[in-house]
Structures are given as C-alpha cells and as structure tokens.
Amino acid sequence: MDQLVQIFGSLLILIAFVSAQRGALSARSRPYVLLNLAGSSILAVLAAHEQQYGFLLLEFCWALVSAWSLVQILRERHRRPARALLVCIPGAFVLQSNGPWLLLLLVVSGRVPRIRRARREARA
C-alpha cells in the first residue's frame, strides 16, 4: 500500500513538472505549486515513516519551498491592483473585472465599438 501512495505522490510532482515544461502551467501558478506541495508532503510523510532521512530531507525542503511559494502567490493576489476591461458597444457597456461578466445595459446610440483598459492605483 505504501508503494501505491508513493507512486501517487510522485505522479503529482511529475504532472506539475511535465505541465510546466509543455507550457500548460506556469511555475508561478497556484495549481503547479499545489501539485508540488501535495506530492512532496505525501512523500515526506512516507520517508519519515520509513526512516529514510536523505529522502525526508529532500521532500521536506521541497514541501517547505512549495508552501512558501503558495503563500507568496496568495499574498501577491491580494496586493495586485484590480483590472477592469470596459468594452463599449452601441447599446451596452460590458464590464469584466476578475470575475464573471457584468452586463450593464445603457442606451448609447451611434458609437463606434472601442475597448478601454482601466486600472485602479495600487495601494501603498
């Protein structure tokens, strides 16, 4: 049973690695870091259980770095200024802001469609 859990932990790390190499995931993305954190944590627990100290050191450090990266990603997400995309179409304004589309129907006749990007100032 331990072997199956080790294979599962290894596959999580390998999925993240292959996805990053193929360009499907960024090394700074939350899914990449979560896959690494989960896989290395599983392997670290198993290494501790089996008293494989060299492997434990490697996987514990891997999990620690992944956890630190996850904290940085979450902090960065909360510090990042909000971005909004405003698309002006005759008859409607469509506002997209880091979430689902909001459709605000405002009568605007005779305007040529245009796109403006708006950013709020980052708080210091």
Cα R_g (the chain), whole angstroms: 22
Each residue's pLDDT tens digit, 89-106? 444 444 444 433 333 333
Each residue's pLDDT tens digit, 20-71? 999 999 988 999 999 999 999 999 999 999 999 999 999 999 999 999 999 9
Q: Tell me, yes or no, whether 102 and 51 share the same domain.
A: no
The reported pTM is 0.62
Q: Tell me, yes or no, whether 57 and 12 share the same domain.
A: yes
Sheet holding 102-104, edge to edge: 102-104, 92-96, 83-89, 114-119
73 in any annotated domain? yes
Q: How many domains is the chain built from?
A: 2
| Tokens 């880091």 belong to residue | 98
